[in-house]
Amino acid sequence: MTASDDPRRREVLDRRIRGFHGVGVDDVLAVVDYLCEPGDTVLAGGSLTFGLGNRLSDFDVVICGDDTARSLVPLQHWVQTLRVDVWTRPRADIDTLFGLAAQALARPEPIAGAFGSIEQEQQLKLLHRVAFGLCLSGPPLVPATVPDFRAVARDLVAREYAERLRESLWVAQLAARAGRWLTAVVNAREAVEEAFTIVLTRRGVPFTGDKWLHDRLREHAPDLGEACRRYAALPTAADECAAYVADAVALAGRLTGVPTGVAELGRQARWTAPDLHLTSAGDTALLVSPRMGVLCELSDVEAKAWRALAGRAEAGAYDAAETDLCLRLYEQGLLTLGWATGVGA
């Protein structure tokens, strides 16, 4: 795609930012031109490019060329009152990024962490800016490492959110069984929103992060409007919470096909706590996290449960006391969940 291939989309974008800030696409290009070399591609991405956002939204630009230096953080510019965040990448980086994404999709391991040290949310967004962004100038940007780069961008987001969904589903159900209703309903709502993201992505809607989810549903999935309203408010009474969780789990499974069974998920789940250590002060059992700078006092039952967990991997095999302790520590950010394989692997 070149700037002249989709004039309607460019006109809509130009009209949108002019309405908010009194400047247009050409004004943005003039300000960032010093970063460009002949033959470079300039892409617009982010919420404003997809008809979302408001006057407080920043305008995302990706500049890519054969010899472009990589910016580890966006280079911030102002065009009147419009903030423009510019990401610069050499073409080889884009090729590598899509190649890594394709490799991650082909492996059985979970997607989380598949890209090493680069923050994952930014990677997901960069993939979609390249795959679905609007080319403002220069030649089309077509990654050479994969035959269908848009499919890779789409599938990576769907897989990432399916793995987030799996965790939300499992925690919601465990917490409901333990009567930890706040944790249960919060994770149930997360599960529904993650399921909505998967549905939108599978329908070809470009990824824009979570904050514009409801706007995307109104435009691209009006059939899910009633479900969206159903889960907008969290219940408080125990019986309402139980129904909320059960309904959310059923809906998420039906929309996505991600397994929802507690036993099935438990066989894949792994609680991880690399820096938690049990110690004592007199008769008091303490759980210590040097990384978090935290001391947790444990009851005798909890201390016994913690000792019993040593060397056991499969979280689904824990008894009620062990699971309840893990949930409490998870709520406090002291435990994380890992998974034996990725979703669908």
Q: Using one digit for the tens of pLDDT, what is the confidence trace for 53-81?
A: 899 999 999 999 999 998 878 899 999 99
pLDDT at 225: 85
The lowest-confidence range among 18-32, 116-130, 230-244, 280-294 is: 116-130
Which 8-state DSSP code applies to residue 334?
A: S
Q: Grade residue 119 by pLDDT with cuts at 50, 70 and 90.
A: low
pLDDT at 63: 96
In the predicted model, is pLDDT for residue 117 greater than 50? no
Closest CA to 327 of 286, 271, 274: 271
Q: What tens digit of pLDDT does each residue of 232-290 get? A: 999 999 999 999 999 999 999 999 999 999 999 999 999 988 788 888 888 898 989 88
Closest CA to 174 of 325, 336, 1, 51: 325
pLDDT at 113: 61
Give the integer Cα–Cα distance in Å for 181 and 174. 10
Query: Which residues make Cβ contacts (< 8 Å) with residue 152, sequence separation at least 6?
Result: 98, 101, 102, 105, 127, 131, 146
pLDDT at 134: 94
Q: What is the DSSP string of 29-94?
A: HHHHGGG--TT-EEEEESTGGGT---TT--EEEEEEETTPPPPSS-EEEEETTEEEEEEEEEHHHH
Give the integer Cα–Cα distance in Å for 135 and 129. 10
Give the integer Cα–Cα distance in Å for 68 and 241. 53
Contact 226, 218 (CB under 8 A): no
Give the integer Cα–Cα distance in Å for 191 and 67. 42
pLDDT at 4: 42
* Burial class of residue 8, CB neighbours in 10 A (0-12, 13-18, 19+): exposed
Give the integer Cα–Cα distance in Å for 326 and 2. 53
Closest CA to 23 of 76, 74, 83, 63: 83
Find how far residue 97's CA is from the centre of its chain.
Answer: 17
